[in-house]
Amino acid sequence: MTLAIVSLVPSMAFAATSEGSASWYEADLAAIGAQENAEGLNRRTPRETVRNFVTLTETKEYQKAAEFLNLGDLPQADRAKHGAELARQLGLVIDRQLWIDWSSLSARPDAMQDQGPANHPLTGKARRDIGLKMVKLNSQTYEIRLARYKNKGREPVWLFTPQTVENIPILYEAYGPHIFEAYIPSSLKQRVGGLRLWEWIALPLLLCALLGLGWLINRMMRWLGYKANSPLLRQAAEKTRLPLALVAMAIAAQLFFKMGVSFSGPATNIVRPFLIIIVVSGLGMAALKIIDVILDRVTLRVIGDIDDTRSIKKRELYTSIYALRRVVVLVMVAISAIVLLIQLNLFESLGMSLLASAGVVTVLLGIAGQAVLGNIMASLQIALAKPVRIGDSVLFEGNWAYVESIFYTFIRLRTWDERRIIVPVKYFVSQPFENWSVKDARIMNTIVLFLDHSADIRQLREVFIELAKNDEGVIDYHTLAASVTQHSRAGQELSFYAMSPDPSTAWATAMRLREAMLDHVRSHHPDWWPYERFDGPHI
């Protein structure tokens, strides 16, 4: 038993050494400019390092704050001279760019992530460096990062990495105090609720100024649209004035932040993403509105008003234009989302999270978005297969209507009496319907009369053919016909058939022919009207 325990000691010591080497960087703290066990400098955890560094820079103890920097890349003679200035600059950059989430900043010496999904690659593993903030300047990416360093026989400490120290002047030039901040009184620089006092005053004033700028841009676009001679430019100016006003407001705010004053981390981290969202979405909306205007003008010029009197090619072109609009919307949304993620540097932070939660997201989309996605797919199916086109005349659930519009999630039908029926696309394609315009718009009229047995179908057929040939709503005279289609004790049913060029004309033509046939019977053969027969008593 004793021999077994003794044999385990070397392997346990080796395991501890291997684990320790993976949890820190070996370094001579004196050689990198950091004192060991400096009085009042707690650097055992990432949270302690950041908290104490921020506290020291706020109290302007920059020489002590320099002890939190890895100055190993600086010459020995320059560390004492430049360390305090670099600490001051980094403190201002952190104040302007970081909104520190203290709960997510590890309080463990090994920075192990002990909470999170079991399949996350970092869960349960010690870390020897962590990132605090990643910023993008002039197409270059810079990061504020902490790393864990250890002397042999000493406790490890967390310091800002040499790469972070090297990037401090660049970050300070971009995010440090601007020229106008020199004129702000010191009394207004006191913090209230996470922001400085002057920021609470400046933000509402800035919002009012931006709203005024947006109103001015809106009025200017309306004036330009009023003065434009081209209907295309006039409609484009009217449609895009609100999105362009929002874009102008966001760009003006970004220029103000870049050239005027630099706000604190909380304000920066809220306002900057919000401005980027406004710029990207505003430009996307403006581009989509312009495309809509162009498509509308092309439709009016090439096709005109849509109904079943138009040719199949024109109705297919109109349907294809709507399909193109749907594709444009999808592309614009995708591009806007990608640009937004790139501008906010969210790909790096979202990558692992998306991989870890892909299964959950798939399930949520499958449940919550089933109806919407089903309608979108059905809409694209109609756009590609074209079982129905915009302008087609259809009979859907007893309603005769025209297909007026095909949107992402619903179809709008216009009935003959100008009612609008809104039908979900998925429901529409899953139900049987009659498309009276699938080949062409021609339709056969069927006019039914119920007369007595004495009515002569041959005489009525001649009268009907003569009336039909003189009616402007009848085409293809060789299709004219009349037949007895039913018979009963009460009388006989006579059906008259005539072809019309489209359903709209057919309806009006059928009304005229029916009235003319009834007038003929009323004037020449009133005895042909049906009447009830009763069997009397036998005497």
In this prediction, residues 19-40 reach a mean pLDDT of 61
pLDDT of residue 495: 94
pLDDT of residue 186: 67
pLDDT of residue 448: 93
pLDDT of residue 356: 43
In this prediction, residues 245-249 reach a mean pLDDT of 85
The pair of three-digit structure tokens given for residue 333, joined into one six-digit string: 């949304």
Write down the mean pLDDT value for the chain. 75
pLDDT of residue 32: 57
pLDDT of residue 410: 82
Highest mean pLDDT among 279-288, 407-416, 487-496: 487-496
Residue-wise pLDDT for 103-112, tens only, equals: 777 888 888 7
- What whole-number percentage of the chain has pLDDT above 70? 66
pLDDT of residue 400: 82
Residue-wise pLDDT for 134-180, tens only, equals: 777 777 788 888 888 887 777 888 888 888 888 888 888 877 776 66
Identify the band that residue 443 occupies on the pLDDT scale cut at 50, 70 and 90.
Answer: confident
Residue-wise pLDDT for 321-338, tens only, equals: 667 666 776 777 777 677
Identify the band that residue 350 occupies on the pLDDT scale cut at 50, 70 and 90.
Answer: very low
In this prediction, residues 399-408 reach a mean pLDDT of 80
Give the whole-angstrom CA distance, residue 288 versus residue 10. 70
In this prediction, residues 231-242 reach a mean pLDDT of 80
| DSSP-derived 3-state class of residue 146 | strand
CA dihedral 108, 112, 118, 122 (to 10 degrees): 150
Give the whole-angstrom CA distance, residue 467 versus residue 470. 5
- What whole-number percentage of the chain has pLDDT above 90? 11
Torsion region of 423: left, alpha or beta (phi above 0 gives left; psi -120 to 50 gives alpha)? beta
Taking CA atoms, 28 is separated from 77, 154, 235, 390, in Å, by: 17, 10, 70, 77
Residue-wise pLDDT for 207-232, tens only, equals: 888 888 888 888 888 888 888 787 77
pLDDT of residue 515: 94
Give the whole-angstrom CA distance, residue 370 versus residue 357. 19
353 pLDDT exceeds 80? Answer: no
pLDDT of residue 127: 83
**Pair type for strands 140-150 and 25-26:** parallel
pLDDT of residue 223: 87
Identify the band that residue 301 occupies on the pLDDT scale cut at 50, 70 and 90.
Answer: low
**pTM exceeding 0.85:** no
In this prediction, residues 389-418 reach a mean pLDDT of 81
Residue-wise pLDDT for 187-200, tens only, equals: 666 666 666 676 77
pLDDT of residue 516: 94
Residue-wise pLDDT for 79-88, tens only, equals: 777 888 888 8
pLDDT of residue 538: 54
Give the whole-angstrom CA distance, residue 322 versus residue 326. 6
The pair of three-digit structure tokens given for residue 44, joined into one six-digit string: 């055992």
In this prediction, residues 295-312 reach a mean pLDDT of 60
| Backbone angles phi and psi of 111, in degrees to 5 | 55, 30
The pair of three-digit structure tokens given for residue 369, joined into one six-digit string: 């978005």
**More confident site: 413 or 186:** 413
